[in-house]
Amino acid sequence: MFKMNKKIIGIINIIFGSYLLIGNTLMSILFNYAGPIGFDVPISPADY
């Protein structure tokens, strides 16, 4: 292994961690969006 500067490793960890925290969360919400399950019509209190 080649020796890297600790500042470079820290910057890479911050970038990767912020991607996992923000980017991956937004992508999973957008692409795996599940609509209401089992109801074809919206249910409101007036329907009762």
Give residue-wise pLDDT tens across range 15-37.
999 988 888 888 887 777 665 55
Give the pTM.
0.48
Dihedral class, residue 38 (left if φ above 0, else alpha if ψ from -120 to 50, else beta): left
Strand runs labelled E in 1-48: none
pLDDT for position 35: 59
The total number of residues written for the chain in this structure: 48
* Residue 31, token pair as written in the block: 């692409």
* Residue 33, token pair as written in the block: 């969006």
